[in-house]
Amino acid sequence: MNEFVERQMKLTWRPLKKSYDVVIVGAGGHGLATAYYLAARHGMSNVAVFERGYIGGGNSGRNTTIIRANYGIPAAVRFYQRSVDLYRGLEEETDRWLMHQAKGLLWMAHSEAAVRAEQMRAKLNTEFGAETEFVEPRQVQELCPQLDMSGGGRWPVLGASYHPQGATARHDRVVWALAEGAMERGAHVHQNTPVEGLVLDGERVAGVRTAAGDVAAGAVVSAVGGHVSRIAAMAGLRLPIRTHRLQAFVTNHYQQQFGPIVASSELFFYASQTARGEMLLGAEIDPQPSFSYRSSHDFVQDVCRRALCLLPFMSNLRVLRQWTGVCDMSPDYSPIMGQTGVDGFYLTTGWGTWGFKAIPAGGEQMAELIATGEVPELIAPFGLDRFARDRTMADRGSAGTH
Amino acid sequence: MSLRIPCPTCGDRSVHEFVHGEIRRVPDHLTDPDERDLDFAFHHDNEEGVVTERWFHAQGCRRWFEIRRDTTTDRIVETEAS
């Protein structure tokens, strides 16, 4: 965070204490949201968030900021809808402008099979609380006049599921607002303080090890993105996680308004317009597990080729910036939240390519779990033990990145 | 520049021609058969650093081979001789 932003925000950096009730590892969206809701909803402010870099500098600063709830399984629809609702009220709650804007999201179908899948998605979403309807090509064209409905002759738009609550928000405003809210209520955030190990007391996790010494904690929560396997190994856990890169890029300014967020799971890309007017494009994860932040030219080339089928106007734009995040992918494409079987150690991970939209609900539910000791109903299906119980939450088709 | 995978038969080719194959290892300290099954089915080493892995040249010679790659940089450190 630069000095200008820091002057605008009421962030209070306090010295490190020797002991906290709760220590959260990772000051990204999920870590800060957990700290915020612990303080705001449960009056727990003896909380510290440890961050090896700066707040929001990991995947919270590298995503495509899409907020939606049109998932494919009931438990996920309910959970993400909670997040959509919390995001809508977050500006008022934190008294900060988060540039939250509902744009509507169109999920295209280019084949009979995809039409059926999107019709099913619309039904299932509506049934479990997320507003989605299947729209015919004529309505699709009205919602997004820039679309080439013939899909370049190869990918005709045969319909789409339309999710009016699909939205975007400014990613760093979200993390700053949550950091500010947590710090105002007494929580500590320690930047440039990597957690180097966990303090074990028998079988129990009792604190974290940093360069400034050991810090005791009643509970340790891992909210890291990209390196969760390393933290979990410190607690003796092996995780069903593989880390892959996800790339994205923006073009230069497009002078017209591009209304909705457009996604196509058959062409494997999604696009929206940023507040600056740039077209923001994302697509699939890189095929090999990797922790590298390098971006590649073939990604841009490939995504542009596919995007131009639907959005031919983009041929007049130029690619401005490209970046990469590293995503902890779970095998069933659903998050992993809750207790771990190791006393005093909690996880919120498996946020793969769908973490930003879940920041408020993930934080709220994790805070409730830690404060009350009981697993909230909303996240009970997403526990780490689901793999051993043969209750995986397979929802690959809703990730939009595969 | 995209990642190029050195196929021992076909030479350096784009990563998109290949299928990645992980070499699964269940740690020896796991002795319970159910725990071993769970580990084999779901858990990964997910190592940061040099890993040995298999690749399948799906759109080329269709052979499996092993390479060693640094997952923190994507640099290939060792390749199988052709």
Q: Is the pLDDT confidence value at A14 over 90?
A: yes
B59 contacts chain A (CB < 8 A): no
Is the CB of B16 less than 8 angstroms away from the CB of A291? no
Each residue's pLDDT tens digit, A277-288? 999 999 999 999
Instruction: Taking residues A175-190, report their average pLDDT.
Output: 96
Tokens of A354: 């769908």
Is B32 an interface residue toward A (CB < 8 Å)?
Answer: no
CA distance B70 to chain A (A): 8
B69 touching chain A per CB within 8 A: yes
CA distance B21 to chain A (A): 9
- Boundaries of every domain in chain B: 4-79
Q: How far apart are CA A174 and CA A38, in angstroms?
A: 17
- Is A126:A173 a contact under the CB 8 Å cutoff? no
User: How much is the pLDDT for A401?
Assistant: 64
Q: Buried b / exposed e across B54-76, counting CB within 10 Å, b at 16+?
A: ebbbeeeeeeebebebbbeebeb
DSSP A17: P
| Best CA proximity match to A228, nearest among A397, A384, A375 | A384
Tens digits of residue pLDDT in B19-55? 999 999 999 999 999 999 999 999 999 999 999 999 9
- ipTM score for this prediction: 0.94
Q: Residue written as tokens 């370049």?
A: A152
Q: Are B71 and B63 in contact, with CB atoms under 8 Å apart? A: no
Distance from CA of B51 to the nearest CA of A (A): 10
What percent of chain B clears pLDDT 70, i.e. is strictly above it? 96
pLDDT at A4: 66
User: A238: which chain B residues are within 8 Å (Cβ-Cβ)?
Assistant: 27, 39, 43-44
The verdict on a CB contact (< 8 Å) between A297 and B45 is: no
Number of other CB atoms surrounding residue A315 within 10 Å: 9
**How many interface pairs between A and B have CB atoms less than 8 angstroms apart?**
67
Q: Which long-range contacts (CB under 8 A, 24 or more apart) does A148-151 make?
A: A148/A309, A148/A310, A148/A311, A148/A312, A151/A110, A151/A267, A151/A309, A151/A310
Domains of chain A in sequence order: 3-62+171-240+332-398 (3.50.50.60), 105-164+242-329 (3.30.9.10)
Contacts of B18 in chain A (CB under 8 A): 287
Tell me which chain B residues have a C-beta less than 8 angstroms from the C-beta of A298.
Answer: 1-2, 14, 16
User: Domain B4-79 class?
Assistant: alpha beta
pLDDT at B3 over 80: yes
Quote the mean pLDDT of chain A. 95
CB of B24 within 8 Å of any CB in chain A?
no
* Residue B81 in this model has a pLDDT that exceeds 80: no
The pLDDT of residue A397: 84
Q: Tell whether the model's pLDDT for residue B76 goes beyond 70.
A: yes
pLDDT greater than 70 at residue A1? no
* Chain A residue nearest residue B26, CA to CA: A238
The pLDDT tens digits of the residues spanning A111-167 come to 999 999 999 999 999 999 999 999 999 999 999 999 999 999 999 999 999 999 999
Closest in B2, B41, B43 to A239, CB measured: B43
Q: Please tell me the distance from the alpha carbon of residue A230 to that of residue A227, in angstroms, as a whole number.
A: 6
Inter-chain contact A288–B46, Cβ cutoff 8 Å? no
Cβ–Cβ contact B17 with A under 8 A:
no
Taking CB atoms and an 8 Å cutoff, what residues of chain A touch B13?
Answer: none
**In the structure encoding, which two tokens stand for residue A228, read together?**
């969760």
List pLDDT tens digits, range A45-70. Answer: 999 999 999 999 999 999 999 999 99
Q: What is the pLDDT of residue A2?
A: 62
Of A238, A291, A387, the CB nearest to B71: A291
- Do B72 and A292 lie within an 8 Å CB cutoff? yes
